[in-house]
């Protein structure tokens, strides 16, 4: 992947971060790249939109959140607390594998957390960076 594509992805991620700050009640996932969406808890509950976007997998980055539609999507939950002092890097590898598996099968992944803090952005940024290295 070249630097231009990587910079475009980072710019898209920054736009998503800004939009999330200003619109907390957003239930529409934002496309980061083909097969990868970033969204809120509301987006994770909007089954019709997820189906329309071909989302097949949902990566929940939050502690104690049950899957909203367990019979309709493949879920992976990363049980991290809603605190800034939690080290989320230990989960990056398994999240990358989960996202790549969804893409290989022609599906898409929604990444979301509960409070809309920086965890989901950190996971997306890692995935984008890791895919450049791979």
For residue 18, what are the CA distances in angstroms to 11, 29, 94, 104, 131? 11, 14, 27, 30, 23
Q: Which residues pair with 39 in a beta bridge?
A: 112
Phi, psi of 4 (to 5 degrees): -65, -45
Helix axes 92-104, 119-133, angle to 10 degrees: 70
Classified as helix, coil or strand, 65 is: coil
113 is catalytic: yes
Catalytic residue selected from 99, 113, 124, 128: 113
The first and second tokens of residue 115, run together, are 């409070």
Answer for the pair 99, 57: CB distance below 8 angstroms, yes or no: yes
Active site residues: 113
């Amino acid at each position: 992947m070249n630097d231009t594509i990587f910079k475009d992805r980072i710019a898209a991620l920054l736009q998503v971060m800004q939009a999330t700050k200003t619109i907390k009640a957003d239930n529409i996932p934002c496309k980061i790249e083909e097969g990868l969406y970033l969204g809120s808890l509301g987006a994770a509950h909007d089954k019709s939109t997820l189906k329309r976007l071909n989302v097949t997998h949902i990566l929940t980055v939050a502690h104690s959140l049950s899957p909203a539609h367990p019979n309709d999507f493949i879920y992976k939950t990363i049980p991290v607390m809603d605190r800034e002092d939690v080290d989320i890097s230990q989960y990056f590898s398994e999240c990358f594998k989960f996202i790549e598996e969804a893409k290989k099968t022609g599906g898409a992944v929604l990444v979301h957390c509960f409070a809309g803090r920086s965890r989901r952005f950190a996971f997306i940024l890692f995935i984008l960076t890791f895919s450049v290295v791979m």
